[in-house]
Amino acid sequence: MIILAIESTADETAICLLKDGKDILKHQVASSLELHKKTKGIVPEISARAHLENIFPMLFDLKKEFDFGKIDKIAVAVGPGLQGSLIVGVEVAKFLAYCYKKPIIAVNHLQAHLFANFISSQKPQLPAVGLVVSGGHTDLVIIDKKLKIKRLGSTRDDAVGEAFDKVARILLHASYPGGPEIDKVFCENREKFNKKIVARPMLNSKDYDFSFSGLKTSVNYMLGGYNNIDIAVDFQRAVVEILLKKTNRAFKNFHAKSIIVGGGVSANSFLREEFTNNFKNSVHFPPKCLSIDNGATIASAAYYLPYEVELNKLKAISGLTIDQSPIN
């Protein structure tokens, strides 16, 4: 089973050829990040135009090396994401499916972040708690043995990646994305500062929801009182403490057998360290290159959750949530 997957939900244009859900035959990602540096955040129209410029050269290159007749299915992320960006991927996927007479599989981008963990030879055991931590979303779910996904909780305001980006901008004058900058500063300074100074919103609430807007405000209150590096260190500790506590609560209450983490923030070094210390072999992370947006995660989701759609019914759904089917 060879799946050609297309990803274009935000600033990454990506394609992937995945064989039998485990062998990555081709993996290509082009980012329009550089174009968003000046604005310190993604500008939707610039991102959509960059997808248009990137996608066809990528596919033409692939076609030189690989016979498209051998592809079994075309998969595409239909949402959530930026509408203009999504449309590019969806329409290109339709065009390919029409030309090569292949079935088309619609993929929920958030579910795909979790399925990045299924490409590995060590498959997560089910039921599993899934934690998606990305630039636009923070969701905690339970995945049952039939791969049915139920949402347990989400952020009530900002996504965790968004908080990383904004706090990095305030404290480090970082450009987008700020998460890796905070992570770097944390690694270089964690031994020097271990006071708890910023708030841990909803840490003890008896639910599975999160709030990162309050944490951002709390960072603002600390400005001037502490140096910015120290605030950044405690910010990263606070985020990981909150994510760990809520995930642990779900793991215990649902008697889950494993934990799978996905999305850009799952590349965070302290998150990986703390989750691994706590959950040992039960926790799964994708390789860092599959934490951020890419085509392999989309192909893997399409392999395990094959939502086949009629060509003329395929559409971009910018507001899709993690527990929704990508066809409606």
Window 170-189: contact mask with ligand KG4 (x via CB under 6 A): -------xxxx--x------
Q: Would you count residue 268 as binding ligand KG4 (CB under 6 A)?
A: yes
Q: Which is nearer to ligand KG4, 127 or 177 (CB)?
A: 177
| Residue 26 beta carbon to ligand KG4: minimum distance, rounded to whole angstroms | 20
- Contact pick of 112, 114, 265, 309 for ligand KG4 (by CB under 6 A): 265
- Cα 70 from chain centroid (whole Å): 29
- Min separation Cβ 101 and ligand KG4, Å: 31
- Judged by CB under 5 A, which of 165, 230, 234, 293 binds Zn ion? 293
Closer residue to Zn ion, CB minimum distance, 18 or 133: 133
Per CB under 6 A, does 135 bind ligand KG4? yes
End-to-end CA distance of the chain: 26
Which listed option, ligand KG4, Zn ion, none, makes contact with residue 267 (CB within 5 to 8 Å by class)? ligand KG4
Kindly state the number of chain residues that form the binding site for ligand KG4, as judged by CB under 6 A: 19
CB of 136 to ligand KG4, least distance (A): 4
Closest CB to Zn ion among residues 134, 175: 134
According to CB under 5 A, which one of 47, 85, 108, 134 is a site residue for Zn ion? 134
Residue among 29, 85, 293, 301 that touches ligand KG4 (CB under 6 A): 293
**Could you tell me if 199 and 215 are in contact, meaning their C-beta atoms sit under 8 angstroms apart?**
yes
Residue placing its CB nearer to ligand KG4 in the complex, 124 or 178: 178
Nearer to ligand KG4 (CB atom), residue 97 or residue 174: 174
Which CB sits closer to ligand KG4, 130 or 161? 161
Could you say whether residue 162 binds Zn ion (CB under 5 A)? no
Sites of contact with ligand KG4 (CB under 6 A): 10, 134-136, 161, 164-165, 177-180, 183, 263-265, 267-268, 292-293
Per CB under 5 A, residues contacting Zn ion are 134, 293
